[in-house]
Amino acid sequence: MKVIQLDPSLAYRPENENYQYRNYEDGPLVDRVKNTYTLMHTHQTVEFVKLKHAKWGFCTHRKMTVMDALNLLDDLVDESDPDVDFPNSFHAYQTAEGIRKMHPDKDWFQLVGLLHDIGKILALHNEPQWAVVGDTFPVGCKHQKSIVFSDTTFKDNMDAHHPVYSTLYGMYEPNCGLENVLMSWGHDEYLYKVLRFNQCSIPEEGLYMIRFHSFYPWHTGGDYQHLCNDKDRRMLPWVQEFNKFDLYTKTEELPNVESLRPYYEGLIDKYCPGELSW
């Protein structure tokens, strides 16, 4: 049975409550956003995702610190984001500071806020943004209605016409668990793989936030319950708690990065020290 989740972010709105986030209907950025999602929903197939896992999943491309990777986001504007049009590095500090204010005792949670979008550096390494940014969804099973623009953008996706992949369960068993589901390729899965490969000590709840924070059809839309197991249901409140900071800390008031950097460098040294393999 589908469970509709109330938006967990409603309790955290530092901005005007009349401001509408995730507006995919109109606005100055909507054409750019829809084009990105159309390309994503056309080309993200089981075959495509497996190719990206093979290319990026073994973390053999370069070595650098987490802070070096974060600094690269100074050069990235997310083409799927209808809310803001400034470099992603600022959003990282906004999210982390929002969490720090509300959860001062959970430094690992604050670090997750800083790190969660670093996987978007793939877009600076010749990957198209539709293979890096935006909301994620399972491949290999029927696309659900809560996926943004789903009514029009999957018509040319080969898997949408596949005899198995177009069915409710597709290539999965009921309640197999999201850890066993092949998600559309993007920055969530890439960063999760990097952190696991480098044996970073972020708690499992934090790794779940990183891996599934863009899976809006699940954590906010209430879809894909038929693939979830008990672990997913236990982790869902953590992902929802993270979501409110990821979404509602976006403002045009940009943080003073230089003053914040020493604090977060300390957290990086604690949980993700030294040069990592990417």
The annotation places the binding site for Fe cation at 91, 116-117, 187, 213, 246
Task: Give the annotated binding-site residues.
Answer: 22, 78-80, 91, 116-117, 120, 134-135, 187, 213-214, 246
Which amino acid is residue 128, in one-letter code?
Answer: P
**CA–CA distance, 40 with 134 (Å, rounded to integer):** 9
DSSP-derived secondary structure for 181-247: S-BPPSHHHHHHHHHHHTT----HHHHHHHHHTT-HHHHTT---GGG--HHHHHHHHHHHHHHHHHH
Task: Give the annotated binding-site residues for substrate.
Answer: 22, 78-80, 120, 134-135, 213-214
**CA–CA distance, 132 with 190 (Å, rounded to integer):** 9
**CA–CA distance, 48 with 31 (Å, rounded to integer):** 25
**CA–CA distance, 53 with 63 (Å, rounded to integer):** 18
